[in-house]
Amino acid sequence: MQPTQLDSLLALTERTAREAGSVLLEHGETLRYVNFQDATDVKLRADTETEKRIRSLLSAATPFPIVGEEEGGDTALPMRDEPYWVVDPLDGTYNYLRRQPCCCVSIGLMQGEKPLLGVIYNFNDDTLYSARKGGLLLENGTAVKPCWPEEDHEATLITGFPAGRDYSDASLMDFVRQVQKFKKVRMLGSAAMAMAYVVTGRSDVYCEEGIRLWDVAAGLALAEAAGACVRCTPNLIKPFAYNICISAREKWLF
């Protein structure tokens, strides 16, 4: 896909994310209605209604298939060589429910398992992170060059525990051993925002097991534009599940 095509698609994605974010911000009282919850997860009216709106806008402008958190999609798309949208209408649903401002709209365009572009929009503070293949990392339209530390004891790791993670004692102890070398460990409740923080230099490493493609597709494009190191491998627990690590330094990948 040519740079001019990607620029046009990136502009479309930015407009779509902003429109979805505006709805989430302005109609929170209605959209915080709980459609489903269990011991580890919650689904709101916001998730379903916002994804419908995003799908409508993208489908009206492009012929590409769509994979979304709420309505799913063709599980063979990551194995095929064609562009497709990957949509998380509200990453950080529980944060949104509790009125915590770490949540966002996340939209990526991928071809196979390669990112073509990505947009993450934190509607709470009107901050939009975007990038397309071969382009710059942008924050509200301004190019960003992250400044990352060199040493382990200066670095911050962001992680999380999604519902699909391996919670066995052995897995958790291995995780503890891996993270002990970092200065600080944080959990934000939003994979997309975690990735946005790493690529802009607000943090240094993000790793998570069993995360779904819609949580990280946009962030993968941002990581590539920022020059971050990326490890993203399929996790066979569920469709569209991956183990992911993006890092300022290759030595911090795990």
* pLDDT for position 162: 72
What is the domain partition of the chain in residue ranges?
A: 3-143, 152-252
- Answer with the residue of higher pLDDT: 18 or 174: 18
Among residues 195, 209, 201, the alpha carbon closest in space to that of 246 is found at: 195
223 pLDDT more than 70 = yes
* pLDDT for position 163: 67
Element spanning 170, H or E: helix 169-179
CATH of domain 152-252: 3.40.190.80
* pLDDT for position 237: 83
The percent of residues above 90 in pLDDT, for the chain, comes to: 87
* pLDDT for position 82: 96
Segment 108-125 mean pLDDT: 98
End-to-end CA distance of the chain: 32
Q: pLDDT of 170-185, one tens digit each?
A: 888 888 888 888 999 9
Segment 68-90 mean pLDDT: 97
Say which residue the tokens 């993203």 belong to.
Answer: 232
Segment 144-170 mean pLDDT: 88
Please report which confidence band the pLDDT of residue 254 belongs to, taking 50, 70 and 90 as the band edges: confident
Query: How far out from the chain centre does Cα 206 lie?
Result: 11
CA–CA dist 215, 95 (Å, integer): 15
Q: pLDDT of 205-222, one tens digit each?
A: 999 999 999 999 999 999
Segment 17-39 mean pLDDT: 95
Segment 146-152 mean pLDDT: 95
Give the chain's mean pLDDT.
Answer: 95
Q: pLDDT of 120-145, one tens digit each?
A: 999 999 999 999 999 999 999 999 99
Segment 151-155 mean pLDDT: 94
CA–CA dist 89, 104 (Å, integer): 8
CA distances from 251 to 15, 61, 224 (A): 37, 42, 17
78 pLDDT more than 70 = yes
Among residues 179, 170, 182, 171, the alpha carbon closest in space to that of 209 is found at: 171
- Answer with the residue of higher pLDDT: 253 or 163: 253
| CB-neighbour burial class of residue 164 (10 A; exposed 0-12, middle 13-18, buried 19+) | middle
pTM for this one?
0.94
CA–CA dist 234, 245 (Å, integer): 12
3-143: CATH topology: Fructose-1,6-Bisphosphatase; Chain A, domain 1 (3.30.540)
164 pLDDT more than 90 = no
* pLDDT for position 224: 98
Segment 47-65 mean pLDDT: 98
